[in-house]
Amino acid sequence: MFYGSKFFKNGQIFCALALLIFMGLLAACSDVTVAPTLSQSAAVSNGAAASSSTPTTSASTPVTPDATSTPVPPTPQVTLPPETSPTVAVTTAQPVNTAAKPPQQPASGPGGQDYLYGKVTAHKYGQGDQAYYIYEPAQPAPAQPLPVIAFLHGYAGVNPDSDGYTAWINHLVRRGNILIFPVYQDRNSTDGTNYTENALTALKAALPRLQDGTHVKPDLGNFSLLGYSAGGVIATNLAARAEKSGLPVAKTLVAVSPGGCSNCSILAIRNFTLDQPAELAAIPASTRLLLMVGNQDIIVGKSAASLIWQNTAQIPAANKNYLEFDTDNYGTPGLVADHGLATRHNAFNFYGTWKLYDALESCSIEGKWCEVALGNTPLQRNLGSWSDGTPVKEITVLG
């Protein structure tokens, strides 16, 4: 009994092959060579084809060999091609040396340990989403006005001491900067309607306070905007609104992993947008711009960074770059280019976010280290080497 067309088709093939074997034996016994007729060959090929086509419902009539036919030369045996698996692209695995350690902070240069000051002081002012912190260097007391950085944190990162920013802030301040940290949101607020306005309000309160004689004197001619995640969007919005809102024009704008948390389910930020293209066109052409993203960032991806890039054509190509970090798991621990790449205190900071910001600020103020900050140079792309000398995967320059 047949239990389906598969058995029926296999039966056809078996019968055809058995017939050919029988014919061969018959020919051998009678010392007569018999070539398969066209219909016999077709029976084999049709049986093979039937395994991948709609099955027929009746068997072919067997062909009886003619033992008196004229002998012909033997026909070469035809071998049916074997079944093959689909071709699968194979990705070469990255070499691994689990004993290799990631690069440590360099002794000097952008991102390095050659700090000008030994201590950082902090003061908090205001309440709620209007609050802000001021960080200043000490030991020794600064003898001249210092550049000012507005540091815009990521979503819910309202406490700089517990949200992964301490090392980054200390690095920036000890190198000789005053840093303002607007809180701009209540920690549990997911309504981003007023985030940019709250940050603007905090900055407009902080800047006069810095000039009241109780703080390190600011150099407002050297003002920068630095933002991470949601803060990268806010920093960009502030750069566009600066002249109309009374903020100093930003010498540098750096946005690291900019965007809202669109993939965070109930924690997704609502009513939080990048300013419109016409507004982004108000960012001064004199501002130097760096955008940085991670190739495994599934939280914000690259959409906001790409929009910023596309709508800042007024900034000369020589004064901006769009950079992507690539995950590198060669050694232990690995360097992961996801949404947290900026807050882990590792080589992606020392040779990446810290190095690039330091160099861009120096380029804007002193004309120094420009080849490290900009231009798709080896110095810009370099992320150091693992302890066995293997280079970390370079930064990819997207624009």
Domains of the chain: 1-90 (no CATH), 119-397 (3.40.50.1820)
Q: What digits encode the pLDDT tens for the residues 21-34?
A: 444 433 343 333 33
Residue 51 predicted with pLDDT over 80: no
Q: What average pLDDT score do residues 66-84 get?
A: 37
Q: What average pLDDT score do residues 365-382 get?
A: 99
Tell me the residue type at 150: A
**What is the reported pLDDT for 88?**
39
Residue 269 predicted with pLDDT over 90: no
Could you report how far apart the first and last alpha carbons of the chain are, in Å?
69
Q: What average pLDDT score do residues 217-228 get?
A: 98
Residue 82 predicted with pLDDT over 60: no
Residue 389's pLDDT band (cuts 50, 70, 90)? very high
Q: For residues 256 and 241, what is the distance between their CA atoms, to the nearest angstrom?
A: 19
Average pLDDT, the chain: 82
Q: What average pLDDT score do residues 241-263 get?
A: 92
**What is the reported pLDDT for 86?**
38
Residue identified by tokens 């000398």 is 389
Q: Two tokens at 224? A: 């920068």
Q: For residues 291 and 308, what is the distance between their CA atoms, to the nearest angstrom?
A: 8
**What is the reported pLDDT for 263?**
60
**What is the reported pLDDT for 265?**
58
Span of 195-209, 267-281, 312-326 with lowest mean pLDDT: 267-281
User: Would you tell me how many other CB atoms lie within 10 Å of the CB of residue 29?
Assistant: 8
Residue 52 predicted with pLDDT over 70: no
Residue identified by tokens 């086509």 is 53
Residue 61 predicted with pLDDT over 90: no
